[in-house]
Structure 1
């Protein structure tokens, strides 16, 4: 009974920092998805009814989608929606399960860190070479930076989640 009383504030602090990270991501992600839906709907409607599609709609969608993916990566970590097949590991002793959880977490952090580094270096290259979308010439650099930020935040959150468990 005493342990439950002492554990409650720690859980509340854990929930508080998660809300500070999660709320802006959810709001921005929802806004991006609604913009994508509105863009697709308006483009299809204008194309069908007036034979006047939105010029560069695919370019806008491409950039918006990269930002949505970047936001979804840390949200997946926070919500515990990462893919896990634990049928066999659930039969193992708790100590082995804990060790395997740490190994998988470290591997995930390494992979996400590598993705962060590659996306960041691709952003620098895209800026150097002027990579852009076909029609509107929207630069790819911000998309790469968004993916780098999303995967970097995901790596940090993955490690923090494992440490706080």
Structure 2
């Protein structure tokens, strides 16, 4: 059997999925390019004039948490979640469907748990005033972003599973 063309692999984005994905792609791209620019500028300034960007690691730490938060829903939408289905093909069709549902429900449960934990970590970080070391940037927004990303991922995974 011939392998599918590259454009035929993965789920097609239609309707709500396309409108949901676009802002995450743009935000993710801007954040990654910002992080890349910060890292390159910091390394360049450190090497050339021996004057690195003050607090570059603090900025990178915060930006990276937002990149992770944006990445979760995009992974779910693109079907890039980790699932090992090598042996699944050898099982009967009914068992395959059951195991597919079970893995989706397990993924939804794990993402929901991560969202819940990140949200409460954000509350604790805000109440304790937890900040980065050098610039004293608060950690709470990073935790809130991760909580939102995981929560949206769980909802999208549920909608994806339900639509099949």
TM-score by shorter chain over 0.5: yes
What are the residue-to-residue correspondences of 1:133-144 with 2, within 5 Å? Answer: 133-144=132-143
Aligned to 2:48: 49
Once the two structures are superposed, residues 88-136 of structure 1 have per-residue CA deviations (whole angstroms, 9 ceiling, x without a partner) of: 1111121111111111111111111110110000000000000000000
Partner of 1:15, secondary structure, is coil
Aligned to 2:89: 90
| Larger fraction in helix | 1
Aligned to 2:76: 77
Aligned to 1:5: none
Q: Post-superposition shift, 1:16?
A: 1.2
Q: List alignment gaps of at least 5 residues for structure 2.
A: 1-10
Aligned to 2:110: 111
Aligned to 2:146: 147
Q: Post-superposition shift, 1:86?
A: 0.7
Backbone CA RMSD of aligned residues? 1.3
Say yes or no: does 1:157 pair with 2:160: no
Partner of 2:71, secondary structure, is helix
CA separation in 1, counterparts of 2:88 and 2:30?
Answer: 39
CA separation in 1, counterparts of 2:86 and 2:76?
Answer: 20
Q: How many aligned positions are there? A: 154
Aligned to 2:39: 40
